[in-house]
Every structure is written in C-alpha cells, then in structure tokens.
Amino acid sequence: MGTFVSMEWVEIEKQDRLAYVVMNRIEKRNALNPQLVSDLTEAFSQLNADNSVKVIVLKSKEGAFSAGADLAYIQELSSYTHKENVEDSTRLKNLFELIFNSPKVTISLVEGPALAGGCGLASMTDFCFATPESTFGYTEARIGFVPALVMVYLRQKMNLNLMFEWLLTASVFDAAKAHRDGLVYKVVDSNEIHDVVLGFSQKLIKGVSAQSVALTKQIMRKLPHQRDEALSYAAEQNAIARNSSDCKKGIAAFLNKEKLAW
C-alpha cells in the first residue's frame, strides 16, 4: 500500500520507492506564496532523507504547473525591509537547493504553464517531462523583477546566448523550444505523459544504485571548473565509490552472473 501526506498546498504520495510531490493550489495556478514554498520545502526535506524513496516527481494536481510568484504577495513585499526581503528570498533559495541537490532522481512533470518561479522549479529537477501544450518562460522582466536565483542554475544548462534570450526577452516559449534549449528532457503527449514518467521512474528504481545516483549528482554539482582540480576531485570520488557497499554488491553480482535488484 502507498502512503499519503497532505499539507495545505502540497500532497505527498509514495508507493514502491517512488514519491509524488503534488502542488494543489489550483485556484491560484500554483502561484508561489510563503505557504506553498514552505510546504514544498517540507516535502523535499522529508523525501530527501527517506531511504525508501529513490525517485521524486514534482507535478501539479491539475492545470498549470506553476504560474510563478503570487503577484499579490510580491506587491506586499514592497513594504518589507531589505533584511526581510533577503530572508524571504533565502527561503526560495533553500527550496531550489533542496531540489537541485537532492540525492534522489528528481523529475518535473509539466502540464500547462511553468512561468517565472514555476519555470525555475521545473529547471531544478534532473529531468523535465512536458506535454506539447506546456509553456515555459522567465517572465520576471515584464513586471520589473529579475530571475536572479535561477541564473545560478540555468548557466549549467544552457549557453549565454540562450540565457539572454530566455531571461532578457521575458518571452513565453513552447515545450518544443524548451526541449531544444535543454530545459525539457522529453516532450510527451498529454494522454501518455503520466505513464511515460511512471515507466521511466520504475526503470531507474529497478536498474540503478541509489548510492551511485547520489554520489554522481554530488560530483556533478561540486566538480571544480579548473581541469587539474576537477581531475583530483574526481579521482578522490572514484576511490570513495569503489569502497561503497553498492559498488561491492554490484561487482560481486557481475562476477557471479547474478541479476541485481536495486
């Protein structure tokens, strides 16, 4: 049997090492306000530490994936002090870090718009699956705002010319362009996307080591830019991996021609 946890704006559904984080602020198109950010932070904090979970899928209950920041709340922020605004921005930064640095495989399943901060959420995951009807955009410049946090992550996914196009034009693009530009992993018809994401998740759950996934993601995130430093860091991580329990288990199974069940 699966488990179900409900917060104010987020639901967690778990079954067979797969967890769904489901945004449920439907009437506001999952616009990001403090409570939704808090609920998502709590959900990813729990699941990142849950050894029974290997894959986390972030999606909407229905409709828009996320329309970005709640504009009524952004208007309220104009009365905050600088310190209060830094604290509020830091809470969103912490959520992005929980998703981006998760030791699990993270997947966003996008149906409908993923805009501004909502596009940022989708960009934090390892894989983004989207329907052809989905739209993506960092539209902050339209309201005099800036996508400051997402720039840190986006520069690892696309070149500078594409970043200029996405961030400076504040345009809304279709899923096909998001796929070409590297934000979307795969575009799947709406009547198939849930089954495709489930099948992809199950393949990862059964086929790869959780320890390998966590260490590989850690190396990718922390790999130094300078070549010699990167190679030294990689050699150290290679040595650590060789001594892990999963590596020992995998090598033994390979040598004994046994089928592994991760």
Q: Structure pTM?
A: 0.93
| Cβ atoms 183, 158 nearer than 8 A | yes
**In sequence order, which residues have a C-beta less than 8 Å from that of residue 167 and are 6 or more positions away?**
138, 141, 147, 151, 154
User: Which residues carry out catalysis?
Assistant: 140
Q: Are residues 217 and 199 in the same domain?
A: no
Per-residue pLDDT at 197 exceeds 70: yes
Q: What is the mean pLDDT of residues 95-113?
A: 97
Burial class (CB in 10 A: 0-12, 13-18, 19+), 117: buried
Among the candidates 206, 224, 247, a domain finishes at 206
Both tokens of residue 96? 């992005």
Residue 154 is assigned to a structural domain of this protein:
yes
State whether 197 and 243 are in the same domain: no
Does residue 177 fall inside a structural domain?
yes
- Is 109 in the same domain as 194? yes
Whether the CB-CB separation of 115 and 147 falls below 8 Å is answered with no
* 49 falls within a domain: yes
Q: Which range, 68-77, 100-109, 225-234, 236-245, is most confident? A: 100-109
pLDDT confidence of residue 179: 98
**Percent of all residues in the chain with a pLDDT value above 90, rounded to a whole number:** 80
Are both 18 and 52 inside the same structural domain?
yes
Question: Is residue 182 situated within a structural domain?
Answer: yes
Q: Is the pLDDT of residue 1 over 80?
A: no
- Whether residue 163 is contained in a domain is answered as yes
- What pLDDT was estimated at residue 200? 98
Note whether residue 262 is domain-resident: no
Who's near 218: CB < 8 A, 6+ residues apart?
101, 103, 237
Average pLDDT, integer, range 191-219: 96
Q: What percent of the chain has pLDDT over 70?
A: 100
Residue 202 and residue 250 share a domain: no
What DSSP line would sit under 99-136, residue for residue?
A: HHT-SSEEEEEE-SEEETHHHHHHHHSSEEEE-TT-EE
Average pLDDT over residues 207-227: 93
- Name the domain count of the chain: 2
Same domain, 199 and 239: no
Same domain? For 104 and 189 the reply is yes
Which pLDDT score, from 0 to 100, does residue 156 have? Answer: 87
Give residue 18's domain range. Answer: 3-206
pLDDT bracket for residue 259 (50, 70, 90): confident
Closest by CA position to 217, among listed 120, 110, 98 = 98
For residue 10, what is the domain's CATH number? 3.90.226.10
Token duo for residue 1 = 């049997």
**Residue 259 carries which DSSP code?**
P
Q: Provide mean pLDDT across the span 105-111.
A: 98
- Asked whether residue 24 is domain-assigned, the answer is yes
Mean pLDDT of the chain: 94
181 shares a domain with 138: yes
Query: 242 and 151, same structural domain?
Result: no
73 and 162 part of one domain: yes
Task: Read off the pLDDT of residues 135-186 as tens digits, 9 standing for 90 and up.
Answer: 999 999 999 999 999 999 999 889 999 999 999 999 999 999 999 999 999 9
Q: Using one digit for the tens of pLDDT, what is the confidence trace for 29-75?
A: 999 999 999 999 999 999 999 999 999 999 999 989 999 888 888 88
Residue 250 and residue 143 share a domain: no
Does residue 199 share a domain with residue 238? Answer: no
Domain assignment of residue 260, yes or no: no
